[in-house]
Chain A
Amino acid sequence: MKKFLQLGLGVVTAVGGFVDIGNLVTSGITGARFGASLTWAIIIGTIGMTVYAEMAGRVSAVGGRTVFHAVRERLGVRTALVNMIASGLLNLLTLAAELGGVALVLQLVTGVNYLIWVPIVAAVMWLAIWRLPFTWLENLFGVLGLALIVFVVALFKLPTDWHGLWQQTWHPRVPNGEGHPTYFFYAVSLFGACLVPYQVVFFSSGGREEKWSPGSVTEMRMNSLIGFPLGGLLSIAIMFAAVPVLQPRGVDVAHLGQVALPVTQALGVTGLAIALLGFFAATFAAGAECALSTGYLISQYFGWPWGKMHRPAAAPQFHLVCLAAVIAATGFILTTIDPVTVTLVSVVLGAAAVPLTYFPVLIVANDRDYMGDRVNRRLSNTLGTLFLVVMLVTSLATLPLLFITKAGL
């Protein structure tokens, strides 16, 4: 029974861990502007995330390699260094977006300007990283993040046109009045929100934190193969809920509060409160994971001791990096730059940087010396390679789209 509960908790945590500020913002914006015509981007992104998370988890449990050990081993010092710097900077941008997200939720609840909240949120987040045991950090917020299911409930309360959503999902076309570049820019943003690089770094390092062994592969598979697709479904629910409420009024989502409007309309203040709790948990957890990931990837590149399985005094460089990351991201978001814009830019640049992290995972997952009989099978390799091609194409298209559309305006 205990085993069963533990498995359930892992899955729940994966669901909560999947959704972060990127998914909230992009799903809200696209639902209001494009209806369900971009659902395919979430579906593809979620499948890609699931395939690679399973692979990274397996490499961590069986091969004993976390993502950035594999990066350094397989890409050579120079490429790996560039990779580390790019991924680290991207993490900072994402962390800034998550900090802004938590602060915006607090502004919605208290009416106090989010800029006042940013330093407080950052301090609490760092304290959580410093003091909370790893499993607490992961499970507590994962479970609270499930409050986002309120969007699914709202869908059934709202005058949802299921047939129309189904039609738009499987026969997508660019809505009237929207250009193709804008449409594909938002497709990239949804794709990037599902495939953020820090998640796979965190998933593989988290496996070491929880002392995964080759025997943990089944548990890890449950988490990734059930948890992440359910997280994808939540993102789709957030998008769909926006369609009957925001799209007819032509609301241009520019604030996190607007993403919660459909829930308020369907379920009133109680619904809003639950949705905001979900927003808070998802963004706070993602922020902490992002800061930890920055510590993981830099420490792993240099071979420093890392992780929360150590006392801070036994992994000082790791904790120094985490602290510096929180401070830098706080400084960035305090420049009064719009957190929603930071979110959009971070997921889109994330989509461009994804192959950097995912490619070495695919290579090591194929190494029989490390993986033994847990080496990649044909299914993982076919899907993995297919997604790598999709990611490369996306990656090349990202910057032109970003400039042509001026970040989706």
Chain B
Amino acid sequence: MTRKAATRKATSLMWANEGLLDRLLIGIDGEDVGMVDNLEFSDATPASGAASGAAEPELTALLCGPLAFGPRLGGRIGTWWTAIGRRLRPDGDPAPNRIPIQLVRRISHRGVELAVPATELPNRRVFDWARSRVVDKIPGSGA
């Protein structure tokens, strides 16, 4: 067993870089759905005037698509990537595609396995575009 795996087993902790980031998202139908490009946590800073103390930050969603990927790249290329991603959105919404953590069935050595099929996820625009504009127009696409 590798040292990292031993640490993880002993404490039942998991590191973002080791099990989540840049892992394959797999739909319940076994299809590749995308990559985990970024992570979303709940805001841990207490709202001013909140009655209770600070809440623990919690992993709320896995993010994917250009708007999640651009910031990971950083620098000028990352900014461009994000900007292109934003222009590709029909509503100009700057929030990246979210896959709520409740949809994660399990995290295995294959990748992040989801409890829903690919068709029910929000990150299908490039797929749909490539399919409806190009692939489906060619005979024999099996559509």
9-residue interface stretch from B26-34, B39-47, B48-56, B84-92: B26-34
> Across the interface, which residues of B come within 8 angstroms of A301, CB to CB?
35
Question: Which of A76, A81, A314, A369 contacts B2 (CB under 8 A)?
Answer: A369
- Most B Cβ at <10 Å: residue of A80, A81, A306: A81
Task: Indicate if the CB atoms of B5 and A369 lie closer than 8 Å.
Answer: yes
Whole-angstrom distance from the CB of A180 to the nearest CB of chain B?
40
Report yes or no: B1 in contact with A303, Cβ–Cβ below 8 A: no
Supposing A63-B109, A367-B2 touch, asked if A312 and B141 sit within 8 A by C-beta, the answer is yes
* Interchain Cβ contacts under 8 Å between A and B, 10 examples: A63-B109, A80-B22, A130-B138, A130-B140, A303-B25, A304-B32, A306-B32, A314-B31, A319-B130, A319-B141
B104 to chain A, nearest CB (A): 15
Q: A residues bordering B, Cβ < 8 Å? A: 63-64, 69, 72-73, 76-78, 80-81, 130-131, 299, 301-306, 311-314, 316-317, 319-320, 323, 367-370
Taking the complex as formed, is B72 at the interface, i.e. its CB lies under 8 A from any CB of chain A? Answer: yes
Provide the bound-state CA to CA distance between A69 and B24, in Å: 8
Q: Chain A interface mostly helix, strand, loop or mixed?
A: helix
Query: Is the Cβ of B34 less than 8 Å from the Cβ of A313?
Result: no
CA distance A130 to B137 in the complex (A): 13
Taking A72-B22, A304-B127, A316-B130 as contacts, is the C-beta distance between A77 and B69 under 8 angstroms?
yes
Does B16 lie at the interface of the complex (its beta carbon under 8 Å from any beta carbon of A)? no
Q: Contacting B135 at CB < 8 Å: which of A64, A299, A312?
A: A312
Given the known inter-chain contacts A64-B109, A303-B35, please indicate yes or no for A313 contacting B134, CB distance below 8 A.
no
> How far, in angstroms, from A368 to B1 measured CA to CA in the complex?
6
Decide: A317 near B130, CB < 8 A? Known: A77-B73, A311-B142.
Answer: yes
Task: Give the 3 A-B CB pairs with smallest separation, nearest first.
Answer: A311-B142, A303-B35, A316-B130
How many angstroms between the C-alpha atoms of A76 and B73 in the bound complex?
10
Q: Which of chain B's residues have a CB closer than 8 A to the CB of A299?
A: 32
Contact between A320 and B138 (Cβ–Cβ < 8 Å)? no
B65-107 toward A: CB 8 Å interface, digit per residue (1/0)?
0000100111000000000000000000000000000000000
A368–B135 CB distance below 8 A: no
Given the interface contacts A64-B109, A72-B22, A368-B1, does A303 sit within 8 Å of B34 by beta carbon?
yes
Which of B23, B73, B136 is the one whose CB lies under 8 Å from A78?
B73
| B residues near A64, Cβ cutoff 8 Å | 109-110
- CA A137 – CA B24 in complex, angstroms? 28
Q: Nearest chain-A residue to B140 (Cβ)?
A: A131
Complex Cα distance, B32 from A303, in Å, reads 6
Chain A proximity of B78: nearest CB distance (Å):
9
Chain B nearest CB from A75 CB (Å) reads 9
How far apart are A309's CB and chain B's nearest CB, in angstroms?
11
User: Does B24 contact A316, Cβ atoms closer than 8 Å?
Assistant: no
B3-26 near A? 1/0 per residue, CB < 8 Å? 001000000000000000011110
The CA of A313 and the CA of B33, in the complex, are separated in Å by 15
A81 to B142, CA, bound (A): 31
Q: Given A64-B109, A131-B140, does the pair A302, B130 have CB atoms closer than 8 Å?
A: no
The interface residues of chain A lying within 8 Å CB-to-CB of B138 are 130, 312
Contacts of B130 in A (CB 8 A): 316-317, 319-320
Question: A320 to B136, alpha carbons, bound, how many Å?
Answer: 11
B5 touches A368 (CB 8 A): yes
Q: For B109, list chain A residues within 8 Å (CB).
A: 63-64, 369-370
A198 smallest CB distance to B (angstroms): 21
Chain A minimum-CB-distance residue to B5: A369
**Separation of A298 and B22 alpha carbons in the complex (Å):** 14
Are A316 and B127 CB-contacts (below 8 A) given A78-B74, A303-B34, A369-B109? Answer: yes
Q: Is the CB of B32 within 8 A of A368?
A: no
Chain B residues positioned under 8 Å from A369 (CB to CB): 2, 5, 109
B8 to chain A, nearest CB (A): 9
- Choose one: A63, A73, A80, A316; the contact of B131 (CB below 8 Å): A316
Given contacts A78-B74, A313-B142, A317-B126, contact A73 B136 (CB under 8 A): no
